Amino acid sequence: MELNYKQFFEVMPAYLTILDRDLRIMEGNQRFRKDFGEFEGRYCYEINRHRAERCEHCPAERTFRDGLRHGIEEQFRNLFGQEVSLIVYTTPIRNEAGEITAVMKMATEITELKLLQNQIREGRERYRQLFEEVPCYITIQDPDLRIIEANRQFREDFGEVLGSKCYQAYMHRSEACVPCAVKQTFQDGQVHQVEEVVTSRDGQQVNVLVYTAPIRDAGGQIKSVMEMSTNITQIRELQSQLASVGLVISSISHGIKGLLTSLDGGSYLVNSGLEKNSRERIKQGWQMVERNVARIKTMVLDLLYYAKDREPNLDWIPAHSVAEEVLGLLRGKAKEYGVDFHWEFDPAAGDVAADAKAIRSLLVNLVENALDACRVDKKKSTHQIRVGLKGYPDFVEYEIYDNGIGMDQETRERAFSLFFSSKAGDGTGLGLFISNKIVQAHGGEIRLESELNKGTRVTVRLPRKGPASRPASSKTS
């Protein structure tokens, strides 16, 4: 029987040694002798670690001390100078009286396993680094749209949002977006793309291009979805500049066609006047030519004015006159829509340094928005719009209130973005964007307060003396 144990000890595919209390190697199996050589009278730390002193964390010592089994991961250096990674276990050997007389140390080589582990760790680290440092927003979401991982850029711009729902962190909404690209990917396992305007934690509007992709487990089931968003705000800003130019071009092309027709008319009258020898007709035709040449001049100047990102053509204008003009224009439309139109103008509002044409466009746009908000609201029997004007020492304030359909938070936050419209096919997504630009160009401030199904209040403050150095901004609440 003892022979059997001895054989077993010898052929074990691990390094087996028996140590005395001084950590001298009393016995070593075949494999140990082959890789670590003769051990007679030598200490284990000499043989295993090529050191002159005991190791700091010696499992054999601990086993001598407490009589328990201990395990540790160690590196030995063999006879051939190779570093070998091992898992070492020590176990006590007791005499008949139960006293620990020796410790058996079994070391199993894990060098290849260790290498594999290192490779996996390095690979994971590389992916982690890529995930963290890639210059876009990445989140991993569960089927409830809960963010279970987010990369560094996302955390920096949207805060520590692990555990939050995607639409809460990204959109400040209480309900999921419709349609939701992440949900679609969960359903069909396909990559989906969508463009969104999201709000960072410091309130900045960010245009993002979103891609979603499934993350599957070993069984092919979709356990989570990765959402990757690229910030395309700069591209959108560039597009907005191009769109402004496009808008101006299309609006003036109509005017140019009219001017050309009138010039043709002038030329026709001059020529036919010459044929008929009618001095009166020649005069009429020539006046028409002169008048239209002057109109072309004005139009070219307008074009240059718009092309320069709407630098306002400032003049001292009575603040109430522009508002009255706008009311005159839109009163008929309000009647058509069955909306009560009220206005209250501070008679002492005074003059403001502004571009009358731009402010007129701004107010027309805001009042038309209010009319549309009332028109589409089917939940109330009566609708009202109130337009107010107040004068303060340093600024004038226009206020347009309606009790129409109102806006949810997402709509409020995106209201000033280019190409965003809540009016389905009726909106261009340009109105409030351009309104904001006009207010900015005047150094003013536009504020939007709105609640879904209750109504909207837009307040525009224009500095009385025109744009100074102070920055302009838009606010929503």
Single out the residue of 57, 257, 331, 475 in contact with another protein (rule: CB under 8 A): 257
Angle of helix 431-441 versus helix 356-375 axis, rounded to 10: 150
Min separation Cβ 240 and another protein, Å: 22
Using the rule CB under 8 A, give the single segment among 27-35, 77-85, 256-264, 362-370 that binds another protein. 256-264
- CA-based nearest residue to 463, from 312, 302, 345: 312
Encoded tokens for 25: 């190697």
Is residue 28 near another protein by the rule CB under 8 A? no
Is residue 269 near another protein by the rule CB under 8 A? yes
Min separation Cβ 216 and another protein, Å: 47
- CA 333, 335, 339, 344 torsion-angle sign: positive
Encoded tokens for 474: 């838009």
Min separation Cβ 182 and another protein, Å: 38
Single out the residue of 113, 238, 260, 304 in contact with another protein (rule: CB under 8 A): 260
Single out the residue of 262, 361, 384, 428 in contact with another protein (rule: CB under 8 A): 262
Distance CA 48, CA 30 (A): 15
Nearer to another protein, 92 or 285 (CB): 285
Distance CA 416, CA 38 (A): 83
- CA-based nearest residue to 372, from 398, 337, 347: 337
Distance CA 477, CA 45 (A): 72
Helix or strand (DSSP H, E) at 63: helix 59-66
* CB 73 within 8 Å of CB 107: no
Using the rule CB under 8 A, give the single segment among 33-41, 95-103, 170-178, 258-266 that binds another protein. 258-266
Rounded to 5°, angle at Cα 421 from 420 and 426: 145
H helices of 159-232, in order, are 166-171, 181-188
Single out the residue of 255, 318, 350, 429 in contact with another protein (rule: CB under 8 A): 255
Nearer to another protein, 94 or 257 (CB): 257
Using the rule CB under 8 A, give the single segment among 158-166, 190-198, 217-225, 259-267 that binds another protein. 259-267
Contact positions with another protein (CB under 8 A) in 275-304: 281, 284, 288, 291-292
Nearer to another protein, 12 or 248 (CB): 248
Q: For residue 116, what are the CA distances in angstroms to 130, 156, 186, 345?
A: 21, 34, 33, 79
β-pair partners for 222:
216
Single out the residue of 8, 268, 316, 392 in contact with another protein (rule: CB under 8 A): 268
Nearer to another protein, 281 or 464 (CB): 281
Min separation Cβ 278 and another protein, Å: 10
* CB 191 within 8 Å of CB 228: no
Min separation Cβ 276 and another protein, Å: 9
Longest alpha-carbon distance in the chain: 145
Number of residues binding to another protein, judged by CB under 8 A:
22
Residue at 371: amino acid letter: L
Min separation Cβ 317 and another protein, Å: 22
Is residue 265 near another protein by the rule CB under 8 A? yes
Helix or strand (DSSP H, E) at 468: none
Min separation Cβ 294 and another protein, Å: 12
Is residue 91 near another protein by the rule CB under 8 A? no
* CB 193 within 8 Å of CB 174: no
Nearer to another protein, 126 or 291 (CB): 291
Single out the residue of 264, 280, 315, 426 in contact with another protein (rule: CB under 8 A): 264
Distance CA 242, CA 235 (A): 11
Single out the residue of 1, 254, 381, 469 in contact with another protein (rule: CB under 8 A): 254
| Footprint on this chain of another protein (rule: CB under 8 A) | 250, 253-258, 260-266, 268-269, 272, 281, 284, 288, 291-292
